[in-house]
Chain A
């Protein structure tokens, strides 16, 4: 069973555009929903995260929208830049259980 489904698999956006990546999960026991950014040859780095008691969180150009009833959350990157070109992973976590379950990733390309 795939607990986290991420879409799209790849995304091409023009510089200055909005990038939107979606995740859907199955288990309601999760209590933390992070997004990670990964560049080639590097480990994932936490970008932004949200708890289920909040519907939206914004940090700079990055926003998470969270829909608890639909068990979905999304990452919006405003004013996308070529430097944002990377692979993005959503994850779900039960902080008591410890482990994170990751989506399969979205490769974002921002064209100048």
Chain B
């Protein structure tokens, strides 16, 4: 039984470029979450899916951010026109329908130059 996986683990990009991250949740999990974590802070909620439906988006998620989970399995998070302030660790988590225990992936560390 594999855990949550994320790809890539590290991404360096130039300001203004678009980036896309992928998350593969634990296979039987219905819920999938995206969080952002900056140094010295706890993870901040961005959005979550129940199956393929995106049920909640944080006000932190500007129009440059979009997430999809087209078949209710893996998910992608895209950031358009990246800014230096987007530099952070992007964490994905998944859980069953009860939504209690969220299992986190290793994260994708983004650096925008």
Contacts and interface: CB of A to CB of B under 8 A. Distances in A.
A98 B107 contact: no
Contact of A98 (B31, B43, B104, B106): B31
Nearest to B3: A43
Contacts of B43: 44, 89, 100, 102
Given A98-B31, A101-B45, A43 B106 contact: yes
B100 A98 contact: no
A110 B107 CA distance: 26
Interface stretch (B12-20, B48-56, B63-71, B78-86): B48-56
Contact of B103 (A46, A89, A93, A96): A46
B56 A99 contact: yes
Contact of B100 (A43, A45, A95, A99): A95
A104 B40 CA distance: 7
A103 B100 contact: no
B102 A105 contact: no
Nearest to B93: A43
B2 interface: no
Interface residues of B, number: 27
A43 B105 contact: yes
Interface in B55-113: 55-56, 58, 91, 93, 98-107
Contacts of A91: 42
A4 B35 CA distance: 16
B45 A93 contact: no
B45 A99 contact: yes
Interface in B32-52: 33, 35, 40-45, 48, 50
Interface of A: 4, 6, 32, 34, 36, 41-46, 49, 89, 91, 93, 95-105
Interface of B: 4, 31, 33, 35, 40-45, 48, 50, 55-56, 58, 91, 93, 98-107
Question: Which are the 8 A-B pairs with shortest beta-carbon distances?
Answer: A102-B42, A43-B104, A99-B45, A95-B99, A98-B48, A89-B42, A44-B104, A102-B43
